[in-house]
Chain A
């Protein structure tokens, strides 16, 4: 009966192994099939009862994480089939790219499904191992440098969360998530372990002050890799942070998370205002959204529903913006905002999709991110002084203006030249993603029911 819960893991792992078969385009077909299968399994799991056994722990949050990962995984695989040909002298053959992509998806499914917090750590560290070479796919000096920064910073950060796991184990005598969540007594080491876990997993989630790898990697990785990183890898790390807050019923640990989230939003929004590279701009926007999500996680209750809606809607909208950044890069051959002009005239579908997805990632109504952020802010109003809420909203406004002004500049500035749009799958996938980030709004009652 519990077999259905391991199907996403099994499918992605089988997909990875099949990529080793040397048949023309086989790896693409296999990857598309297994990723679509994982989405079907994710929907099945969503409507299956929660499970908690020796190996697995899947409640509403895990189920929605699996669904999010699987949908972004499908979109990334399909987009990659058109994008890969634009990479000159890639680091490896195409089948190794898909092998790593499938293993990467497997490690994310594993991280959000297991019932042991130590194994969650193993899974999240495995995402680093499986994804590092994907960042360096373009095989140039800067992407290799970005990959190295990613490995060393994230792995060092995860050592902190490993020590945190040891302290949590010492305080509670277990690392089983189901037992941790129902625990009433623990030693005073738990808050220290939990705060270290927030910092450690925060490294992977792009939380201040351990975020420095994030803009480099998102800026230098190929578009589909940036999309899956931003859309689901960071939320997988946030998933670990959600669990930490859930099993730590101590107010000052939550305040610590609130402060980290707050600082993350402030730093990210400030840096968005000075960006001249559009992929780095989108990367800082991801950081800003993760900061908002962490604020919601620290508040809990109704805000947690806001976090889940924010994560879901952001995953689709942000993967759309990164896919589109790949389309822009392949046509304009530059990452500089000032050098990309007149996109609306030359690539109209890309331009208007980018306009809407940029609005979505900055929390504009009627996209799901808006409702997610509103829920978080609503709960925040009752938790802190209104001055802090106004300050936060000022920085959200700064992020909104920076993003939409810079994107607007690229889209609507004057430029002469022929139409460069290619009506192909690489143009359609971002449109679907943007629509999904809007459609989330209609599923809020269902999401609320699943989480409860």
Chain B
């Protein structure tokens, strides 16, 4: 069980590092889709181990909503041809963001060991914590709204992985509510992003909000 979690967890970290060095938005979204399917595969495995139909439902919800629906919804929202949409000027350069990503992974491990390891007792619990930080870093290191949204969803996926592995008996209503909220956030974000690109009225005080 722990080995399988480690495998999925490290795959997730590698996928996020791939997102850090990628500039094409569509590829980042597809990578997120793959990482969501990986989370759902883990939940599926967990449901068989624990004989829990609620975890099985959660695995299916994760695959359908996070793996399929949300990435496709975002891809359709890309204003231009998806394969052309790229971030030309990220806040942080690719090389430095990869190095920072690695530092963040080490920092997350040290932080987890110092604060939670004694109580949770599972060393691999550091993986979701590292993923949360990676997602947050993706949000702050990019200007492109679609990539920022993916960063937020990476954080959500990490929280889901954390729950699934360490606390699978968390009330189902809470986890299902989380999935529903995520759909809402993504759909509203999709509308806002489209509006952002086609804003009819220019504003003089936009600089007040940037930087």
Interface residues of A (CB under 8 A from B): 88-89, 91, 116, 118-119, 121-122, 125-126, 128-130, 132-133, 136, 138-149, 151-152, 155-156, 159, 162-163, 165-167, 169-171, 175, 187-189, 192, 216, 219-220, 277, 335
Contacts and interface: CB of A to CB of B under 8 A. Distances in A.
Interface of B: 115-116, 118-120, 132, 135-136, 139, 145, 148-149, 151-152, 155-156, 159, 162-163, 166-167, 170-171, 173-174, 177-178, 180-181, 184-185, 188-189, 191-193, 195-196, 199-203, 205-206, 208-210
B132 A142 contact: no
A336 to B, nearest CB: 9
A136 B171 contact: no
B96 to A, nearest CB: 21
Nearest to A213: B209
Contacts of A88: 201
B174 A148 contact: no
Nearest to B180: A122
A166 B165 CA distance: 11
- Chain A interface secondary structure, helix, strand, loop or mixed? helix
B166 A170 contact: yes
Nearest to A148: B192
A149 B209 contact: yes
A132 B170 contact: no
B196 A144 contact: yes
A306 B117 CA distance: 39
A123 to B, nearest CB: 9
25 contacts: A89-B201, A118-B171, A121-B177, A122-B177, A122-B178, A125-B178, A125-B181, A128-B185, A130-B184, A133-B192, A136-B192, A136-B195, A143-B203, A144-B196, A148-B192, A148-B193, A156-B152, A156-B155, A159-B152, A159-B155, A159-B159, A166-B163, A175-B170, A187-B119, A188-B119
A211 to B, nearest CB: 14
B13 to A, nearest CB: 17
A187 B167 CA distance: 14
A132 B132 CA distance: 24
B172 to A, nearest CB: 10
A155 B195 contact: no
Contacts of A159: 132, 135, 152, 155-156, 159
A144 B188 CA distance: 12
Given A155-B185, A188-B119, A165 B174 contact: yes
B178 A119 contact: no
A329 to B, nearest CB: 12
Contacts of B192: 132-133, 136, 144, 147-148, 151
A119 B177 contact: yes
A189 B117 CA distance: 10
Query: Which of A146, A162, A167, A220 has most chain B Cβ within 10 Å?
Result: A162
B166 A116 contact: no
Query: Which of A145, A146, A159 has most chain B Cβ within 10 Å?
Result: A159
